[in-house]
Structure 1
Amino acid sequence: MSTDNGGRRHGYQTDHTTNGADGASWEEDWEDDYGPAIRATCRQIKLWREGAGLTQQELGDAIGYSLGMVSAVERARRLPHPDFLAKADRILGADGKLAAMKKDVEEARYPKKVRDLAKLESEAVEVGSYTNTVIDGLLQTEEYARALFGLRLPACSEEELERLVAARMARQEILTRHPAPLLTFVQEEATLRRPLGGRAVLRHQLEHLLELSELRHVKIQVMPTEIEEHAALSGSLRVLSFKDRTAVAQNEVQLTSRLISDPKEVRILEMRYGMLRAQALTPRESLAFIRKVLGEMT
């Protein structure tokens, strides 16, 4: 990632929402930075298979995959699952050369917009997020994320659903990163009460918020509906700050997530987020509020 003299950050584009489940398409989009590596891996699978004197059908039978899947992988029409690579490596005697590609292939399975956001988050020293419709993606349980993506229209396939859930969980590595960034969240009260996935899923989600709040670098605040003053009525926003003292912001609307790098606009959103944190309940008050909502569910 690079910056220009005005502090703008280059190299990342997000075209669809990231914390919710909306988006124009969830098709696999690895034809970018990972494209050459994936195509090379798929060619290597074919070369190792031919070198072993096996047909695609024979390889498929040996590793438990269909002829169609083996063919699609060798033509780089489908990404090989890490299990596919591990088994093919063993059957074809590749001595770890195919299995070594598992990490790159696994990362390529995630939507590019998620990889871009995760890259930004991995470089940030501070992340501030206000979410007004759902629990922030970095705070979501796996069950909550699955329920959220399951509500998306048009509906995604089971394979797409699992890929998106896995990508969301992978982003949460930032929670245990060392050195730990400062992570602050302001959640609208409505997000704590909307039973996405059912009451049991919401109860587990609220319990998860209480657990995360015990981390010293995580601060969760609640914006109660009854508060009259609200600095972010225009919608959800995120602000990410970096070691070089630059920052980017992000806001989301239907089908679109906009990455903002213009310093003037970033400062406006930083100001709004700072004011919002002052207007919301303190972290301690917010914990009591979450416990209250949780108690109302029993």
Structure 2
Amino acid sequence: MKIAVMTDSTTSLPQRLIDKYNISVVSLSVTFANGDNYIEGKELNASELYRRMKSEKTLPTTSQPAIGNVIQEYERLRDAGYTDVVGLFLSAGISGTYQAATQAGEMVEGINVHTFDSKLSGMILGGYVIYAAERVEAGLTAEEVMKELLEMREYTGALVVVDDLKNLQKSGRITGAQAFIGSLLKMKPVLEFVDGKILPLDKVRTKKRAIKTIEQGVLDRVKDYDNVTLYVVNGDAKEDGLKLFKHLKENYPDYVINYSEFTPVIATHLGVGSVALGFTNKHIATLANSPEEE
């Protein structure tokens, strides 16, 4: 059995880790109002996205990988001698990528495709990917890796602060938010991934308090874990992200703490000024980093 690990372009994983574990990546894309279309990670970075989002009236849209491209990638892996693929993708609750990857796997002969719905996105998905790659290196079968991922998913989540819900509301990526939106006024929304969907959790008067809310919420959720990896991710809110990262690093030295920025597709939906704090019950030491490294 020769196992490949595949994911999508929303993971925020640095290229050095993609290369180290020979991870296969299928890309999503971003399209602006004037028709400009860019492949995430290859033709568009987050800085350029934020610049255009601030200057243009119409928000961009995002697209999942074309099923034909996913089929080609499976065929490439098969022809390279792989017998199995463990594919990990962003939440099926906010994107059709997982469904496309699953359907493509059913259409390709000669390779066994195992797809995993992370029910999350961004670097938290990246954590799953690195964990899977390390377990493959340790000699587990594809079925064994999938079993561990499903168990891990029960202890993995994320809380998010956004400046406003405009992007999420427009793209339809937030559930049950109409009454919540109406009561916001100038308050900051706090959101949570629940079973793969983005749901309102709280509303707080200032961004500082909102970030403290997600920090305390995550710490409460992991307090009984034997092992903890945390993910600090920001969308054009580097000062807020760095402050949270450094605070956690200083106060929780036993935790693996990772810092990253949202990729363009995720940033399109969460908007400028977003900060997320993700967590899982595995000690994924490979992901320990400092902002200067990324």
TM-score by length of 2: 0.26
Point out the structure with the larger strand share. 2
TM-score by length of 1: 0.26
Q: Which has the larger radius of gyration?
A: 1
